Chain A
């Protein structure tokens, strides 16, 4: 493991160093990814489907393993053998495309589960925090509802609140609006925008290009497992460098 300098570590939150991943000997999902995310940065990952965006974001909290290279989170090699995976994961919020709320628990209990069982918070404290977070995502009235009684957009907002309950220094979003009906996309993006404004470090795979334009500090463009562009939204959308990105953007516009 390569230890990064102290000066850099209070800026860099996530660092990919020559990351490679194979799903099989014939299929390399990630090819030599080198990139950093600094504190407070909002990165939007885009690219055609199958380009490795979701795989990349899932490697950050070890939902996917990598075969070589290193990924550092807050200066710590996350694939180090000694790492306490559970503790490490509790520091990163992850929001899934399919929400993955626990259907047997009420909305509040969904949010309280990890603070109680991982952080050892008391029930009343965890409950209080859950209600605060629900207010923040505009669902205070739904604390005692079950996930099955909520719309997709509401479920995803609860999922965001659930991730926030662990007070993570960074949040990962894996296509958070792709499973939603169009009229519910806005409410979820709204919550994500307010998080970004509050300075949350975010890495987000999305097809919502308007969100990328408005909120992202950096857009990463991936194709066939490679990270081929890394630029400001203004440069990426108006002056894409690679032919692949130019084609991707023109395909988007042609709809």
Chain B
């Protein structure tokens, strides 16, 4: 137990920010940056994919479904390798591990978020769309004013969970030498050589704390959302308050 504190005391800066300010930013900071950038870009893409996926227009629906199925049917690490080797070949420029990882995460998470958003859209009672159309609102107006606000709001907890998996997935950046948290922990392990157990307990602990608190946040949001509209029969069943 004491070893763990000693390792933390000697290496906390490396684990938190890498070699920064004397070298590139790394560690937990990069892990968080990757996750946040991944989510920020994946979110709009995911919403667009979801809208295309539920669209009545075939030439929007089919490509969206193809992207979603292909991406969800391939392991993330394969995707990382593809981006890592093909992106430079495609653009003719060297691409940093960090950029590779962001691009990969965005595409990968967008496909998953699209399915979350679709569930949110399809979970709404059909009467919502009917009522809006009956008032004379168009398909797009109905989508923007009635369907999406409810679908996205109801899906906030699911999106936080998706963010949690993104955080965990950033650890795969290790294989293409992105100096995120796992990479930093491995550096620590390589210098110490004799204490892998302690080092990786620390690593696990950091991931756990981060993800666990976000999961709690998701739970809190879920209750808040349910509470704010107590007694609403029209919300999707999933979001009904537990009595």
Which residues of A are in contact with B by a Cβ distance under 8 Å?
Answer: 61, 63, 86-92, 94, 96, 98-104, 113-114, 117-118, 146-149, 159, 162-163, 166
Contacts and interface: CB of A to CB of B under 8 A. Distances in A.
Contacts of A118: 135-137, 141
Contacts of B172: none
Contacts of B230: 148-149
A48 to B, nearest CB: 24
Given A146-B229, A148-B229, A149-B231, A104 B135 contact: no
Interface in B201-243: 229-235
Given A113-B145, A146-B229, A100 B234 contact: yes
B234 A162 contact: no
Contacts of B149: 104
Given A100-B125, A104-B150, A118-B137, 18 more contacts: A86-B136, A89-B133, A89-B134, A89-B135, A96-B130, A96-B134, A100-B131, A102-B132, A102-B146, A103-B229, A103-B234, A104-B153, A114-B137, A117-B137, A118-B135, A146-B229, A147-B234, A159-B131
Contact of A114 (B127, B130, B135, B233): B135
Interface of B: 125, 127-128, 130-138, 141, 145-146, 149-150, 153, 229-235
B128 A162 contact: no
B134 A94 contact: yes
Which of A91, A92, A147, A148 is the most central at the interface, judged by chain B CB atoms within 10 Å of its CB?
Answer: A148
10 contacts: A63-B130, A63-B133, A89-B134, A89-B136, A94-B131, A98-B234, A100-B125, A100-B128, A100-B130, A102-B132
A30 B150 CA distance: 35
Contacts of B235: 103
Nearest to B135: A114
